[in-house]
A and B are shown apart, each in its own frame.
Chain A
Amino acid sequence: MATLTIRDALNQALREELIRDENVFIMGEEVAEYDGAYKVTRGLWKEFGDKRVVDAPITELGFAGLGVGAAMAGLRPVIEFMTWNFSILAADQIINHAAKMLYMSGGEFNIPIVFRGPNGSAFQVSSQHSQALEALYANFPGLKVVMPSNAADAKGLLKSAIRDDNPVIFMEQERMYGMKGEVPEDDDFTIPLGVADVKREGTDCTIVARSMTVPMALDAAEKIREQFDVSVEVVDPRTIKPLDIDTIANSVRKTNRLVIVEESHAFASVGAEISHQIMETAFDHLDAPVKRISTAETPMPYAKNLEAAALPSVDKIIAAVKEVCYL
């Protein structure tokens, strides 16, 4: 095991896959000579050169489309969006082309591509740079959606995403790039897509969290144990689509209570989907209504206090757990 930041774990995954498969290439804004806007691709251009690590013009729709065509013709592109906010410009290529190509070609052309970059809020970057878009992309059949929450998952899941034969939406979190964790050193270490992970075992209440809200949920779980002697289980789906609902339902069958924490807005969110699926699969096991913590239904404000008020927090999670546990 090595201790790595999420940034470096992602970098290792990219580097190992570039070495492993010569059809893998990275394209995006500032990924090469600048070493990546968030330094996820640091050193890769120097090591692999212009052919494998490519600085694209600021032309999101264009280079997303280029990636789709390259994947159709046999390459395995890793397309970086400087942030997922900019993917909205490229949505036609992701949604209308990448997601549908295999189906509308009757199984002839699959699209092995990874679209990756930071998703959600950062540090006071305001309305147009703070969106969590996983529910949007998870809505479309044909796409897989992955959201790691620690360094090991980031590396193992990214390697699986690059090896996957489908378009994968890989969502990182800018606030988490510097977070450190233990990462296996095996070159072939991967984590399968579609498998949830129980990040903390507990018996009294389940918290389902993803990406940035996982460390928050773990922090909240520890505080709840200290203050109320309540045992909280934290489940991280890791892959939003396909969703490992079995692991979540099994946890709910054990704890009988569910809190879902997410950085996206609440309306039609992934949390809403999980809540619905739990109603279908574990309705009789619930002792309290499912509770959701989401970002406030407003574009993200700039002011530090307003931004904090809009986002999920440890305190909000603790309050939600108390509510479903009738404390």
Chain B
Amino acid sequence: MECSGILFIFADLQGLREDDILPKAATSRKPEKRANLTSAKGNGKASKGTATSAAFRDVEEAIKEYEDRKASQLRAIKTTDKKVLREMLYQMVLGRHFEEKCAEVYRMGKIGGFCHLYIGQEAIGVGSMTALEPSDMVITSYRDHVQAMVKGLSPESVMAELYGKEGGCVKGKGGSMHMFSKEHEFFGGHGIVGGQIGVATGMAYAAKYKNTGQVVLCFFGEAAVNQGIFHESLNMAELWGLPCIYICENNRYGMGTSQERAMSASSIARKAGSYEMANEFVDGMDVMAVRAATLRAIERARNESRPTLLEIRAYRYMGHSMSDPGNYRTREEIQKYQERDPIVLFKDSLKEAKVLSDKDFEQIEREAIEATDRALKFADESPFPDESELLTDVYA
């Protein structure tokens, strides 16, 4: 077993400093956190003030490093196939358009129940999943529309599922939170926070057992890290050397509770150290950094049959779900993050690298809009499931 110092493949690979992810000094931070805990709850204004101060510190630093980050993205772009880059941008733009439309039709009452949007986090799903082989397995939480499409499900089948229609990928039985496709090795959207981490571990166990060479990508939010299943699963995965890549999409908020109000430690990546598991902290606004980190983890999984924990930090622009008014944070905070939007950054880099032009961007936008429109039309026209479907698929 390697020592944990080697296992911490830290931010120097991404041009990030440890300061971005670790508290300045534990001693100075503790009292601040306590004050936060005692003063914030139930008081909207106080909560906003305290929640943003720490978040701003991160953002200000991140913006300062924007140009550095762009430089590293440019370097990565130069070594990546143009077709892949175009597809990555297309998937990000499609994901953005698709989710914006979801919000629109949700407000019109066409989508029911819960609806968790991915806007702002596209670089994570796209950067990681476009590094996979088609035969690799993916499983995620309830924020699953975009992951499903990147894994190959048609926008039509995802939108129709959101509409609860027969043409949906699971025939209208799952809805927003439960997209699945065996054909595309997409093992679902799951609705219990952290539950899919255990299931992913078993999928990786099966891949190793049957020696299929597949790896598993498992997505979850940072709030899932506080669940027991996260720790139980990581322990077994490292103990038994399972080819599973655990991707914590740290979007800063578990529903309305910021990470600093819910987690005693600020580094999620470092929690892997408790299990002597390889880990990285990744900037989730940089799609090329996500891709690079995932490729390293894939190699480790495929060649050494060893798991990795990636903490990929992003920021959720929208509420937790469509019913979330977002009173726990300011508009200003959201805007700060939007200034360094992952799609804007990627486009700027692609343009500077002369890989794609404004004309290409227009074409990609058009394709994404058309694909979303086709999905909406298909969902509208697809019939509701026959009532005879009620009692099918209960038992195999």
Interface status of A215 (Cβ within 8 A of chain B): no
Task: Kindly state the separation between the CA atoms of A10 and B312 in the bound complex, as whole angstroms.
Answer: 47
Interface status of A67 (Cβ within 8 A of chain B): yes
Q: Are B395 and A65 in contact (CB under 8 A)?
A: no
A108 to chain B: which residues have CB within 8 Å? 170, 180-182
- Docked complex: B162-202 residues within 8 A CB-CB of A: 168-174, 178, 180-182, 187-188, 190-192, 195, 197-202
Partner of B393, one of A23, A61, A107, A144: A107
Q: Are B209 and A70 in contact (CB under 8 A)?
A: yes
B204 to chain A: which residues have CB within 8 Å? 69
Q: Are A65 and B174 in contact (CB under 8 A)?
A: no
Shortest CB-to-CB span from A324 to chain B, Å, is: 35
Partner of A66, one of B171, B201, B207, B394: B201
Known contacts A105-B174, A106-B171: A66-B188 contact under CB 8 Å: no
Q: Are B393 and A59 in contact (CB under 8 A)?
A: no
Shortest CB-to-CB span from A105 to chain B, Å, is: 4
Shortest CB-to-CB span from A189 to chain B, Å, is: 23
B171 to chain A: which residues have CB within 8 Å? 106-107
- Docked complex: A43-87 residues within 8 A CB-CB of B: 51, 56-57, 59, 61-75, 77
- Docked complex: B201-217 residues within 8 A CB-CB of A: 201-207, 209-210
Q: Are A73 and B203 in contact (CB under 8 A)?
A: yes
A62 to chain B: which residues have CB within 8 Å? 198, 201, 228-229, 232-233, 235-236
Task: Kindly state the separation between the CA atoms of A176 and B358 in the bound complex, as whole angstroms.
Answer: 76
Task: Kindly state the separation between the CA atoms of A93 and B229 in the bound complex, as whole angstroms.
Answer: 10
Task: Kindly state the separation between the CA atoms of A106 and B139 in the bound complex, as whole angstroms.
Answer: 16
Task: Kindly state the separation between the CA atoms of A1 and B330 in the bound complex, as whole angstroms.
Answer: 76
Q: Are B228 and A61 in contact (CB under 8 A)?
A: yes
Known contacts A106-B170, A106-B180: A56-B236 contact under CB 8 Å: yes
Q: Are B236 and A74 in contact (CB under 8 A)?
A: no
Q: Are A103 and B229 in contact (CB under 8 A)?
A: no
The listed residue with most A CB atoms (<10 A of its CB), out of B170, B187, B198, B202, is: B202
Q: Are B232 and A59 in contact (CB under 8 A)?
A: yes
Task: Kindly state the separation between the CA atoms of A92 and B197 in the bound complex, as whole angstroms.
Answer: 12
Interface status of B137 (Cβ within 8 A of chain A): yes
Q: Are A71 and B202 in contact (CB under 8 A)?
A: yes
Q: Are A102 and B395 in contact (CB under 8 A)?
A: yes
Q: Are B233 and A65 in contact (CB under 8 A)?
A: yes
Shortest CB-to-CB span from B306 to chain A, Å, is: 17
Task: Kindly state the separation between the CA atoms of A68 and B200 in the bound complex, as whole angstroms.
Answer: 9
Partner of A106, one of B169, B202, B207, B396: B169
Q: Are A69 and B210 in contact (CB under 8 A)?
A: no
Interface status of B388 (Cβ within 8 A of chain A): no
Q: Are B202 and A73 in contact (CB under 8 A)?
A: yes
Shortest CB-to-CB span from A292 to chain B, Å, is: 28
Q: Are A142 and B395 in contact (CB under 8 A)?
A: yes
**What residue in chain A is nearest B179 (Cβ atoms)?**
A105
Task: Kindly state the separation between the CA atoms of A105 and B236 in the bound complex, as whole angstroms.
Answer: 26
Shortest CB-to-CB span from B392 to chain A, Å, is: 7
Q: Are A105 and B178 in contact (CB under 8 A)?
A: yes
A327 to chain B: which residues have CB within 8 Å? none
The listed residue with most B CB atoms (<10 A of its CB), out of A61, A67, A77, A96, is: A61
Partner of B200, one of A61, A69, A109, A141: A69
B172 to chain A: which residues have CB within 8 Å? 106
- Docked complex: B116-153 residues within 8 A CB-CB of A: 137, 139
Interface status of B239 (Cβ within 8 A of chain A): yes
Interface status of A213 (Cβ within 8 A of chain B): no
Q: Are B210 and A75 in contact (CB under 8 A)?
A: yes
Partner of A67, one of B173, B188, B202: B202
A-B contact pairs, 5 of them (CB 8 A): A25-B209, A68-B198, A70-B203, A73-B202, A106-B170
A contact residues vs B (CB 8 Å cutoff): 23, 25, 51, 56-57, 59, 61-75, 77, 92-93, 96-97, 101-110, 112, 141-142, 144, 165-166
B contact residues vs A (CB 8 Å cutoff): 137, 139, 168-174, 178, 180-182, 187-188, 190-192, 195, 197-207, 209-210, 228-229, 232-233, 235-236, 239, 392-396
